[in-house]
Structure 1
Amino acid sequence: PGLSQESSYQLIFHPLTGLCITRQSTLLEPLKLGPCTDSGAAWTYTTDHTLQMKESPVCVAAIGQGKAVKLGNFCSDANSRWNPISASNLHLASNSSDDTLIYCMDVDSNQNVVTNPCKCLEGDKKCDPASQWFKIVSTTRDLLRVTTDSRVITNSHEPS
């Protein structure tokens, strides 16, 4: 009991699947849904509305319709700012890089995180927006650390 010694961070939780957005072992791999206990699931949601990797200047950027979101260092660009929209505040939306279109985070059939036109913002009762629902959740829960070759999993408080 007592307070965790871990610093606060955010998870990007996907209610439909019960999973979180995680980064893979390299920055070039697409973001995917995975266990919320993975070290790759730790993010910082900044006051500028960017989603940055915890303790890193790298942030999530929308690339275009149906395309995987990417990690990059251009965090001041319009396509790197994510705002909760809709009555539920569960759609995370970003503008296109030229600031003319709005895309929402979504999940494809392989659990890759992509962007698509936002669904169900007009109150259509036959529409199902659940694949686009994401919730930014603050936590201090301990994370598992996964080495880049994914063979060793240890608690983040244990020495490596």
Structure 2
Amino acid sequence: MTIDTSTMRQIISNVFDEMLGMPTAPLPDPCDDIVCERIVAAIRITGALDKQVVVEAPSQAAISIAETMFACSADELTEEEILDAVGEVVNMIGGNVKGMFEGDSKLSLPDVSEDNGPLNPPAGSEQAVTLVSGQPVLVWWQDLCAASV
């Protein structure tokens, strides 16, 4: 079973709109023209399936996410809290994806890092770009068994 863009957009909306209370709006794909400093959080689902889900949040979006999660202002946040917040978002999205499939699967711990440059998901992946509280956030995903790892 694959995850189509419509399903992923619903998952993204559930995480941000419902769980975090952050309004979302879909943006047209692709996002090649968005160049920025950002937080990248990746998670892998293994077992009955082998998928990767990645969230790329520009710095301002990552700060907004952390402000919401930690209920504090940007000047009160540490860099670690900002990274943790984006890691938790990919964990929630990955958990929703994992829950769509039957069989025994495990969710890895999020791998979170900082990056700079264009939002550029790999060839063969699917993507959804969403405005989260007015900031673009990219979520991309792929089957790793079909991808060259």
Structure with more helix by fraction = 2
Q: Which has the higher contact order (CA 8 A, sep 6+)?
A: 2
Greater radius of gyration (CA): 1
TM-score, length of structure 2 as denominator length: 0.31
TM-score, length of structure 1 as denominator length: 0.30
